[in-house]
């Protein structure tokens, strides 16, 4: 199997030295899953805090600043509150689907995290179809949204879910095609190899014009994928109240909420990996201090996350038909032409190698 | 009419197509700005019919007026269109003063006009913020409120209240203006002149916003007149209906200003009319603030005002349009009948006319450009 699980070499070798291969693999999987779950649940909470602080900054406010030092524990307190809340539901809801929906959303969000190369040694799941895996996993989430909206027995939730289905299916094409454009340079879908290629310059520099176009298309489509403003048709609080999660409360709502922020992180992390050299430092000192890679990866990702927050807090929302017009009449043709341009660039070897 | 009776005939309607469904927007819905209930007939996302269901915040203000003295009526009008409470108060005071043939001092007229225009700007600031929020740009809300807050601070100093001001009384105003009033108003005008361009940069010029607004919710001039549209809604359709221009009251005959008119009749036109109105209000304030005449701030009236027998009508331009006050007096200390012609009610009546055929998002955006205040509709 081409699956190598290694959080760090030392733990990996130590585990395999003290028990049988099967037991060690299982232990390692559970260990990695627990660590990822714990780290990213907390990370998601801090993304919520970051969003609130960024929003406050855009909106002439202070943002949360009471719980903990400068409000650092605000979202923790919110999560605690949500855990302790009653789980309410509608009378004629389809109970099975209603309860299942939040798990679809959160599980698909967390699964996608497995393949990111945070640094050279720190990649849980380095498969040879990494990008394909990411695209495939991120499209499972929409099933959860559709299920939640359908099972809630609420028309507003249903409209939100219908919009979500339409939107995610449309914009997945652009996400996939813009990533495919970049794969033309790397010649591999494996994320570790994509990073390896970028040691001679980030792909956005190597691929110059078509890469920049692909990045722009990716950012638009990626923002739409995560159902965030200006593409937040799914929630559209001034139109639908809260959209598909109108009838969810307590922890089930929290799963939807957390998944939205983890999805935002995933979209930014894909952009970092494909366009901006993942854990590679811009000054070439990563090789000597390997753990610095995590810093670079998160740094670049958070810059893109900030960009997405910037979109959200300054743009008005599109209308549902304009949303589809943008995708099918503009982004998709641009993308297809862009792939041809990129193919030409690769064929004529016009790639800029540093 | 009870809710259930009203709903039932529609669900058994034979002409009802299977694809269409009802949705109940409100009375607790963020886009209806209060307790307005809209019965929507929707086909997928497309609006087939909009039926506003009113009455959720009806407080019988007109009936209460029959019970109260003329001084007390002024305070009730605060609670109609609470965003232009000063102008509502002014309408009642002008009616009473006209009936008594009472000539108020020049100082009062100028003060009333300045505060009225400040109220209009404050109301438009709030509308602009909420307008942005309705089309999904949440940040505008806080920008609008930042500038509205400055106006509210000026009001607080002079009138003692920030929303329901109660500053007008028949015969003048309740107190003289605060010594800081002139300086703070000048500061505000200077500040706000730099902020309207900021509004334009943040929202008006945005390509998504333009696409959402242009050609949506079109209201022709003929329809505007026949539905009784007034204020920015009417003027967005090219219907010249500014009461301040056609029937000047208070000190409005002493100032020069342009009536903001747009002919397109779509949501964007109504939006632009309000932005232009903010500029015009600033210019009116600038013309008056430097020469507020000296003199009394009120003339003495009898403790119990009795209007001569007859019918009286006065209209003013509030931030939302034409507010008419119709009073019938039989010579007692209470009016026999009071009728308010509120701009909100006639503006909401054309919602079905302009929203049908659009998407749900269009309905919300169109409703925001009508700038409804529900207590003004219901009274």
Domain ranges of chain A: 89-347
Judged against a pLDDT cut of 80, whether residue A124 lies above it is answered with: no
CA distance A277 to A202: 5
Distances (CA, A) of B246 to B232, B249, B273, B282: 15, 10, 17, 20
Residue A314 burial (C-beta neighbours within 10 Å; 0-12, 13-18, 19+) = middle
Task: Please give the angle made by the CA atoms of B22, B26 and B32, to the nearest 5 degrees.
Answer: 120
User: What residue of B is the nearest CA neighbor of A326?
Assistant: B208
First to last CA, chain B: 18
pLDDT digits (tens, 9 = 90+) for B175-189: 888 888 889 999 999
* Angstroms from B242 CA to nearest CA on chain A: 31
* Angstroms from A247 CA to nearest CA on chain B: 15
CB contact under 8 A, B364 and A321: no
CA distance A121 to A297: 13
Tell me the H-state helices in chain B. 3-11, 61-67, 70-77, 85-100, 106-134, 139-159, 181-199, 207-213, 221-226, 232-236, 243-246, 267-289, 343-349, 351-355, 360-370, 374-378
Interface check for A92 against chain B (CB to CB < 8 A): the answer is no
CB contact under 8 A, B208 and A315: yes
Domains of chain B: 3-53 (no CATH), 61-378 (1.10.645.10)
pLDDT digits (tens, 9 = 90+) for B71-97: 888 888 888 888 888 899 999 999 999
What is the helix (H) or strand (E) element at residue B42, kind and residue range? strand B37-43
Q: Which residues of B touch A238 (CB under 8 A)?
A: 30-31, 133-136, 364
pLDDT value for B30: 76
Judged against a pLDDT cut of 50, whether residue B326 lies above it is answered with: yes
CB contact under 8 A, A238 and B133: yes
Judged against a pLDDT cut of 90, whether residue A206 lies above it is answered with: no
Tell me the H-state helices in chain A. 9-18, 21-58, 74-84, 95-112, 130-138, 141-151, 155-186, 191-197, 203-206, 208-225, 237-240, 250-275, 292-314, 320-325, 332-347
Out of B30, B146, B359, whose CB is closest to A237? Answer: B30
User: What residue of B is the nearest CA neighbor of A232?
Assistant: B136
Q: What is the mean pLDDT of residues A19-37?
A: 83
What is the number of other CB atoms lying within 10 angstroms of the CB of residue B309?
12
Q: Which residues of A touch B136 (CB under 8 A)?
A: 229-230, 232, 236, 238, 315-317
pLDDT digits (tens, 9 = 90+) for A267-307: 999 999 888 888 887 776 656 666 777 888 888 899 999 99
pLDDT value for B298: 85
> What are the CB-based long-range contacts (under 8 Å, 24+) for B158-161?
B158/B115, B159/B115
Interface check for A217 against chain B (CB to CB < 8 A): the answer is no
CB contact under 8 A, A315 and B135: no
Q: What is the mean pLDDT of residues B62-67?
A: 89
Residues in chain B: 379
CA distance A317 to A320: 9
CB contact under 8 A, B136 and A58: no
CA distance A284 to A276: 13
- The percentage of residues in chain B with a pLDDT greater than 70, rounded to a whole number, is 95
CA distance A252 to B94: 58
Q: What's the whole-number average pLDDT of chain A?
A: 84
CB contact under 8 A, A315 and B136: yes
User: What residue of B is the nearest CA neighbor of A237?
Assistant: B30
**Which of B361, B366, B367, B368 is the best residue to mutate to test the A interface, defined by the most A CB atoms within 10 Å of its own CB?**
B361
User: What residue of B is the nearest CA neighbor of A317?
Assistant: B136
CA distance B307 to B314: 14
**Which of B20, B22, B34, B138 is the best residue to mutate to test the A interface, defined by the most A CB atoms within 10 Å of its own CB?**
B138
CA distance A51 to A282: 26
CA distance A199 to A210: 19
Between A188-202, A225-239, B167-181, B268-282, the lowest mean confidence (pLDDT) is in A225-239
Judged against a pLDDT cut of 50, whether residue A179 lies above it is answered with: yes
ipTM for the whole complex: 0.81
User: What residue of A is the nearest CA neighbor of B21?
Assistant: A155
- Per-residue pLDDT band for B308 (boundaries 50, 70, 90) equals confident
CA distance B224 to B218: 10
CA distance B315 to B323: 5
């Amino acid at each position: 199997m081409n699956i190598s699980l290694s959080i760090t070499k030392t733990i990996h070798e130590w585990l395999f030295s003290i028990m049988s291969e099967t037991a060690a693999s299982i232990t390692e999987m559970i260990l990695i899953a627990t660590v990822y779950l714990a780290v990213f649940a907390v990370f998601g909470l801090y993304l919520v805090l970051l969003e609130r602080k960024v929003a406050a900054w855009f909106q002439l406010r202070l943002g949360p600043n009471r719980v903990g030092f400068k409000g650092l524990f605000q979202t923790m307190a919110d999560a605690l509150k949500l855990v302790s809340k009653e789980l309410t539901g509608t009378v004629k809801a389809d109970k099975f689907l209603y309860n299942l929906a939040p798990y679809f959303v959160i599980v698909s969000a967390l699964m996608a995290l497995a393949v990111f190369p945070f640094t050279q040694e720190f990649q849980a799941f380095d498969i040879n179809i990494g990008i394909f895996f990411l695209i495939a996993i991120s499209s499972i989430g929409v099933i959860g949204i559709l299920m939640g909206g359908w099972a809630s027995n609420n028309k507003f939730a249903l409209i939100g879910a219908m919009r979500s289905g339409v939107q995610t299916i449309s914009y997945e094409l652009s996400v996939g095609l813009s990533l495919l454009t970049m794969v033309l340079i790397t010649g591999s879908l494996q994320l570790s190899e994509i990073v390896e290629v970028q040691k001679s310059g980030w792909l956005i520099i190597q691929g110059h014009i078509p890469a920049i176009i692909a990045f722009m298309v990716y950012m638009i489509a990626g923002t739409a994928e995560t159902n965030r403003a200006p593409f937040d048709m799914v929630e559209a609080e001034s139109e639908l109240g809260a959209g598909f999660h109108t009838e969810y409360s307590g922890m089930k709502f929290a799963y939807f909420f957390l998944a939205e922020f983890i999805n935002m992180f995933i979209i930014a992390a894909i952009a970092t990996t494909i366009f901006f050299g993942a854990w590679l430092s811009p000054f070439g000192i990563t090789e000597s201090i390997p753990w610095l890679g995590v810093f670079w990866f998160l740094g670049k990702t958070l810059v893109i996350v900030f960009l997405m927050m910037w979109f959200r807090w300054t743009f008005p929302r599109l209308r549902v038909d304009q949303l589809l017009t943008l995708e099918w009449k503009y982004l998709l043709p641009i993308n297809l032409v862009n792939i041809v341009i990129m193919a030409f660039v690769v064929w004529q070897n016009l790639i800029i190698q540093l | 009419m009870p809710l259930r009776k009203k709903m039932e005939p529609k669900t058994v309607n034979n002409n009802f197509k299977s694809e269409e469904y009802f949705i109940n927007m409100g009375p607790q819905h963020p886009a209806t700005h209060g307790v307005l209930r809209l019965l929507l007939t929707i086909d997928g996302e497309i609006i087939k019919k909009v039926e506003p269901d009113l009455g959720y915040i009806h407080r019988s203000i007109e009936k209460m007026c029959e019970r109260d003295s003329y001084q007390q009526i002024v305070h009730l009008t605060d609670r109609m269109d609470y965003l232009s409470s000063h102008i509502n108060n002014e309408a009642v005071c002008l009616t009473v003063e006209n009936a008594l043939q009472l000539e108020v001092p020049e100082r009062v007229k100028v003060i009333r006009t300045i505060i009225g225009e400040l109220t209009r700007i404050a109301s438009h600031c709030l509308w602009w913020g909420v307008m942005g929020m309705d089309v999904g740009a949440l940040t505008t809300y806080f920008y609008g409120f930042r500038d509205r807050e400055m106006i509210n601070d000026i009001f607080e100093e002079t009138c003692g209240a920030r929303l329901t001001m109660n500053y007008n009384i028949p015969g003048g105003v309740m107190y003289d203006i605060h010594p800081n009033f002139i300086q703070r108003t000048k500061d505000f005008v200077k500040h706000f002149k730099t902020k309207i361009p900021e509004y334009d940069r943040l929202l008006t010029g945005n390509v998504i916003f333009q696409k959402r607004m242009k050609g949506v919710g079109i209201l022709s001039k003929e329809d505007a007149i026949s539905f009784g549209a007034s204020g920015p809604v009417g003027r967005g359709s090219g219907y010249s209906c500014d009461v301040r221009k056609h029937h000047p009251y208070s000190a409005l005959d002493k100032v020069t200003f342009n009536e903001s008119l747009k002919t397109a009749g779509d949501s964007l036109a109504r939006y632009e009319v309000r932005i232009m109105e903010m500029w015009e209000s600033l210019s009116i304030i600038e013309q008056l603030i430097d020469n507020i005449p000296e003199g009394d701030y009120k003339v003495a009236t009898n403790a119990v005002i009795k209007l001569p027998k007859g019918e009286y009508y006065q209209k003013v331009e509030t931030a939302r349009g034409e507010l008419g006050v119709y009073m019938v007096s039989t010579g007692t200390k209470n009016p026999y009948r009071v009728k308010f012609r509120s701009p909100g009610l006639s503006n909401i009546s054309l919602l079905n006319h302009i929203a049908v055929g659009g998407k749900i998002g269009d309905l919300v955006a169109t409703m925001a450009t009508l700038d409804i205040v529900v207590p003004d509709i219901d009274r």
